[in-house]
Amino acid sequence: MSKVGIIGIGLIGGSIAKALPSEVVVYDASSHALQAASGLGIETASSVDELVNTVDTLVIGVPFEAFDSVFASVQSAAARREKPILVTNVLSVMNPVEVTEPNVEFVASHPMAGTEFSGFEAAKADLFEGATWVLAKANDQLAGLVAKLGAKPVVVDPSKHNAIVSQVSHMPHVLAAAQILALPDDSFYSLAASSFRDSTRVAATAPELTGSMVGNNSEEVLHAMKRLSGVLDEFIEVLESGDQAALEQLFARANSQRSKHY
């Protein structure tokens, strides 16, 4: 069985490489990252072409901005292959990807795991342990790789995926940033304790990553913000009316719903 190719060894691609160091071949535009991988005994390729010719499964781990051009190079290289190559990306939004090369079987996927850090140095071998990993469609080859990483492959339709992540991932990022930006001045940090620290933790994520993620899913994020705003209006109404029982009821409903899942 051939090794798994990885293009882009940031937090996600790098974590796959660290989890399966002897079963992957990696390529990254940064020679610094490639050296770091090589230093851990991970096999490296010197170009996208070389990588596409070496493996039967390829993970594209580059950010949104780089994806189209990297995928175009992958398709040209794959044209010279004798058999198909399975390609996945690991982007946090599943937007349509145009496949023009018959030798490429593309299945979008998205591991529901991450941290507020980025880059190969932040990558961790156990990042995916126990995490859900969404596949845009069923694929045994990809599901096998996901399972080997300790994650649970789950097939979810891309549009449903985008709607869900807008609410459970992109909204927390927007609200973390919004809470920071809503502080009238720096003195407010003096009384901030764990509730503020934790609910703004993901504001430490690299802004270009968060911006792409949210911007590439803007329609769904706008829906999510509308849903949230409807709930905030309920809070405003009970706070303005002074109905303490109704206020407590809102918190009680949230508490009981959450406790079924955590």
| Touching a second copy, residues 153-192 (CB under 8 A) | 154, 156, 161, 164-165, 167-169, 171-184, 186-192
Counting contacts by CB under 8 A, is residue 253 touching a second copy? yes
Neighbours of 85 (CB within 10 A): 24
Q: Which of 171, 180, 161, 182 is nearest to 228 (CA)?
A: 171
Residue from 21, 115, 122, 150 binding a second copy (CB under 8 A):
115
Residue from 131, 148, 150, 155 binding a second copy (CB under 8 A):
131
Strands 132-135, 104-106: pairing is unpaired
Phi and psi of 10, rounded to 5°? -80, -145
Residue from 50, 117, 132, 148 binding a second copy (CB under 8 A):
132
Q: How far apart are CA 7 and CA 70, in angstroms?
A: 9
The nearest distance, CB 185 to a second copy, in angstroms, is 10
Q: Please, which residue, 99 or 247, has the CB nearer to a second copy?
A: 247
Q: Please, which residue, 79 or 254, has the CB nearer to a second copy?
A: 254
Burial of residue 22, with CB atoms counted within 10 A of its CB: 0-12 exposed, 13-18 middle, 19 or more buried: exposed
Q: Please, which residue, 99 or 164, has the CB nearer to a second copy?
A: 164
The nearest distance, CB 97 to a second copy, in angstroms, is 19
The nearest distance, CB 168 to a second copy, in angstroms, is 4
What does the block give as tokens for 57? 């499964």
- Which residues is 24 bridged to in the sheet? 4
Residue from 4, 7, 113, 149 binding a second copy (CB under 8 A):
113
The nearest distance, CB 4 to a second copy, in angstroms, is 23
Counting contacts by CB under 8 A, is residue 117 touching a second copy? no
Question: 189-213 burial by CB neighbour count: b if 16+ within 10 A, else e?
Answer: eeeeeeebeeebebbebeeebbebb
Q: How far apart are CA 231 and CA 237, in angstroms?
A: 10
**Rg of the chain taking only CA atoms, in angstroms:** 21
Counting contacts by CB under 8 A, is residue 1 touching a second copy? no
Site for a second copy in 38-97 (CB under 8 A): none
SS3 133: strand
Counting contacts by CB under 8 A, is residue 149 touching a second copy? no
Counting contacts by CB under 8 A, is residue 122 touching a second copy? no
Q: How far apart are CA 137 and CA 237, in angstroms?
A: 43
The nearest distance, CB 144 to a second copy, in angstroms, is 21
Counting contacts by CB under 8 A, is residue 204 touching a second copy? yes
The torsion angle over the Cα atoms of residues 64, 101, 106 and 90, rounded to 10 degrees, is: -20
The nearest distance, CB 199 to a second copy, in angstroms, is 4
Size of the site for a second copy (CB under 8 A): 90
Q: What is the largest CA-CA distance in the chain?
A: 72
Site for a second copy in 210-229 (CB under 8 A): 210-212, 214-215, 218, 221-222, 224-225, 227-229
